[in-house]
């Protein structure tokens, strides 16, 4: 059976396509109106930028830009924004102002704005920080804002967190006791609660993973956040011995705790002040004790 389109049909389709592509006077007017609107918005943004630059109290931001879906923006660059400063303004506040007033295409993650969700972890003036937790007044200008290092950039300041989440889930980050009481609470001693208290503060921001040189060179390394999460459950007295041993076997693997070189970079950048390096070293000691055998 031939798949060739009959000549008469081809001619008809061609006439219809020509008619479809022919611009009507109304469409031309709409296009010109849209162009005028875009030009006006651009001029307004430029005027706002000039006013901000001329103002006495502004902060200069240099923001990383990259958009793989737009040909003109596929080459990474830095854009300058001069943001009017107000007391208490954070880096996230400044980015939101720049997006709302100067460039609506500026892309970054944020949610709670209270250092709880962990979604706005950024590389600010050469250090991993939460945008909502970092005061502009504590930074030197120009404030350089970049996406987290060692992770693939999706667009502008947004990075792909899938691998980080995979590492976190690989340690089975949930409470899994071998036995639960038939009635009442499953009690935990005050001393044990104090022992694991700091490890429970992790907000999955990925700042520690981004700062870790080992994680940058070893894609299979669990990383400080995942190991800290394993510590939180392995050291919880409410989990049974068998389940704790399973967790220890996860962190004792070749790409687990033994890959840590004790550089403290993860501890230094953690926005919740979790002693990550200390927790990793304690798991190392626990692993050694469990593997000791006396004949």
* 79 closest CA partner among 62, 98, 93: 62
Is residue 273 located within the same domain as residue 168? yes
* pLDDT for the residue numbered 213: 94
Q: Are 267 and 276 in contact (CB under 8 A)?
A: yes
Is residue 100 located within the same domain as residue 116? yes
Alpha carbon 275 to its chain's center? 21
* pLDDT for the residue numbered 51: 60
Q: Rounded to two decimals, what is the model's pTM?
A: 0.78
In the chain, % of residues over pLDDT 90: 69
19 in a structural domain: no
195 in a structural domain: yes
What's the number of domains the chain is made of? Answer: 2
Residue 40: pLDDT over 90 = no
Is residue 250 located within the same domain as residue 168? yes
**173-182, 194-203, 242-251, 278-287: least confidently modelled range:** 173-182
Is residue 287 located within the same domain as residue 205? yes
CATH number at 142 reads: 3.10.20.30
Calculate the dihedral angle through the C-alpha atoms of 14, 17, 23, 24, rounding to the nearest 10 degrees.
90
70 in a structural domain: yes
CATH number at 240 reads: 1.10.1060.10
Residue 233: Cβ-neighbour burial (10 angstroms; 0-12, 13-18, 19+): buried
Is residue 123 located within the same domain as residue 201? no
What average pLDDT does range 76-80 have in this prediction? 96
pLDDT per position as a tens digit, 205-263: 999 999 999 999 999 999 999 999 999 999 999 988 888 999 999 999 999 999 999 99
Q: With bands split at pLDDT 50, 70 and 90, how would you rate the model's confidence at 72?
A: confident
Is residue 102 located within the same domain as residue 219? no
What average pLDDT does range 283-288 have in this prediction? 94
132 in a structural domain: yes
31 in a structural domain: no
Is residue 61 located within the same domain as residue 92? yes
Q: With bands split at pLDDT 50, 70 and 90, how would you rate the model's confidence at 36?
A: confident
Is residue 107 located within the same domain as residue 81? yes
Print the domain residue range for 241.
Answer: 162-177+189-291
Give the Cα separation of 249 and 239 in Å (integer).
15
Give the Cα separation of 175 and 39 in Å (integer).
57
Q: Are 108 and 153 in contact (CB under 8 A)?
A: no
Is residue 83 located within the same domain as residue 168? no
Is residue 169 located within the same domain as residue 153? no
Give the Cα separation of 270 and 212 in Å (integer).
11
Is residue 215 located within the same domain as residue 257? yes
8 in a structural domain: no
pLDDT per position as a tens digit, 156-189: 999 999 999 999 999 999 888 877 777 778 889 9
182 in a structural domain: no
Give the Cα separation of 123 and 139 in Å (integer).
13
């Amino acid at each position: 059976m031939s798949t060739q389109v009959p000549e008469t049909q081809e001619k008809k389709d061609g006439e219809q396509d020509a008619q479809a592509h022919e611009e009507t006077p109304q469409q031309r007017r709409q296009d010109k109106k849209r162009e005028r609107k875009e030009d006006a918005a651009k001029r307004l943004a430029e005027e706002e930028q000039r006013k901000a630059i001329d103002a006495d109290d502004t902060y200069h931001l240099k923001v990383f830009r990259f958009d793989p879906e737009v040909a003109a923006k596929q080459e990474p660059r830095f854009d300058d924004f001069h943001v009017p400063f107000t007391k208490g303004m954070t880096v996230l506040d400044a980015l939101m102002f720049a997006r709302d007033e100067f460039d609506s295409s500026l892309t970054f993650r944020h949610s709670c704005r209270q250092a709880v969700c962990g979604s706005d972890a950024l590389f600010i003036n050469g250090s991993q920080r939460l945008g909502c937790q970092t005061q502009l007044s504590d930074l030197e200008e120009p404030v350089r804002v970049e996406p987290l290092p060692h992770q693939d950039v999706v667009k502008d300041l947004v990075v792909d967190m899938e691998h980080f989440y995979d590492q976190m889930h690989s340690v089975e980050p949930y409470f899994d006791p071998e036995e639960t009481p038939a009635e009442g609470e499953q009690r935990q001693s005050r001393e044990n609660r104090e022992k694991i208290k700091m490890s429970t503060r992790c907000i999955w921001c990925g700042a520690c993973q981004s700062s870790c040189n080992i994680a940058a060179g070893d894609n299979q390394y669990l990383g400080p956040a995942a190991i800290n999460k394993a510590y939180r459950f392995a050291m919880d007295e409410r989990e049974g011995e068998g389940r704790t041993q399973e967790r220890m076997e996860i962190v004792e693997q070749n790409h687990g705790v033994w890959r840590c070189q004790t550089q403290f970079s993860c501890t230094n950048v953690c926005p919740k002040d979790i002693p990550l390096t200390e927790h990793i070293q304690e798991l190392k000691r626990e692993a050694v004790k469990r593997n000791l055998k006396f004949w």
